[in-house]
Structure 1
């Protein structure tokens, strides 16, 4: 039975890492969460958002059935040089053909009031709410072993690729 669970987890990692999810022009790449303990009341998820909708947009919220509330959070340094974590007021702007990374030590999705532990290999359903694009449902894998930067894409040709996609090959 454990071999089946391990096989499912490996397949999910391969599928979620290999192909970014595209919905309504918003692309989500490398979405993962950290595992939690049975006593944990909060958790965090990380991902890369790319806006291919043709217009500037803003991520204004998120929700998931694994938590009572999901907030857009950031780590920021206060006036005394102390790093603090808190909710991002007003959402996260994402310009057209730009990307925004939610990463450890920076912006992230914060699951508050966990209803169950986040266990290695689990797939969490999360709905991202955009001001213009509306709701976008994504799958987030729980991957405790993921290292920062693992699975991230090279965006060096990103701008040229987008211009070609829209018929402008001048770059």
Structure 2
């Protein structure tokens, strides 16, 4: 085997091992578009993990603060609060959606207009304490279209 073939084989093996480590997939990512001067919005998506894991952190360059939030009814009042993470049970789709768990983007650095692509980073940790960084692109949708999603 030539040196070139050995290098190509090593590259192929490393690419395959990297894709084999990808335990978490994200689909249908979107954010609610904003109006001028609005400083916060929500991001929504579906997350599926092959193994039990936990979403530990979110961040985005469009926001000064990004957090996982949970909305729930408490004493007949809908309340929203930041949570320190969110469990991702193996093989189950976890939906982040309006009125439930979602990503809150606060201290926005500018208006998010319909069609804008918003980069979001998710940090997920498995039971083995290994962390996975997932980079996603969420499309901004206007309020009326987002409600139909």
Q: Which residue of 2 aligns with 1:61?
A: 57
State the TM-score, normalized to the length of structure 1: 0.68
Q: Does 1:34 align with 2:32?
A: yes
Q: Which residue of 2 aligns with 1:81?
A: 76
Structure 2 gaps of 5+ residues are 1-20
Q: Which residue of 1 aligns with 2:15?
A: none
What is the deviation of 1:96? 1.2
Q: Computing the radius of gyration over CA atoms, which structure comes out larger, 1 or 2?
A: 2
DSSP 3-state at the match of 2:146:
coil
Task: Name the count of aligned residue pairs.
Answer: 123
What is the deviation of 1:146? 2.9
Structure with greater strand share of residues:
2
What is the deviation of 1:25? 2.0
DSSP 3-state at the match of 1:131:
strand
CA RMSD of aligned residues (A): 1.4
Q: Which residue of 2 aligns with 1:10?
A: none
Of 96, 99, 116, the match for 1:122? 116
Question: CA separation in 2, counterparts of 1:49 and 1:113?
Answer: 25
- Map Cα deviations across residues 73-93 of structure 1 (whole Å, 9 max, x no partner): 011122x211111102x3100
Q: Is the 8 A contact 2:37 2:110 kept in 1?
A: no
State the TM-score, normalized to the length of structure 2: 0.78
